[in-house]
Structure 1
């Protein structure tokens, strides 16, 4: 068998693995972002007011539990729950609902998106 034939055979056999490798990399990246979001929830002190599964000392009772926020229908009782709106709520809740008890904590857009990734990972979404 020629080297060319062997190389062609290897390419044919490896081709179906490329999409699997890409999906595996995407899953790894998503898990990394989600884990970073979990760390940020602790860093910003979100657990002082909320119960957040997996976040150390996140046993607050002032705000609602965030255990199911990733698959809830609404945010703050009236805002449709989408990743974009949840990130906006985390960043500037007082802009969205001025009488909310949740303060603006100065969360950046990338940090808010990482937190949202963690919330959606909690529910498998």
Structure 2
């Protein structure tokens, strides 16, 4: 079922890949065909990440939502925090899990990351644990 949940997030955010939003360095120095191939491969990799996605969803269940987007932490930093407990996950897996878990998001246009309405207080409590 997780593959379908990941696909639902991709349907919502079509530029989502395993890397995050888009592909590494936006495919700079790649031809249009190479960019398309890399993008497709990275989305396929994301769709194959059901186990990591499920672990991230479970980890996110302890994070409280707030009204506004927390601009202090990006998806990349948050995935690093989650990895301390659940093991390696990609930025794209973390974004997909957070969106699936009902967090509001804002795409950071200058990076492959997203920002979420995650409580800084609850994140700090998780860091201490």
TM-score (norm 1): 0.29
Ranked by relative contact order (alpha carbons within 8 Å, sequence separation 6 or more), the top structure is 2
**Structure with the greater alpha carbon radius of gyration:** 1
- Which is strand-richer, 1 or 2? 2
Q: TM-score, normalised by structure 2?
A: 0.28
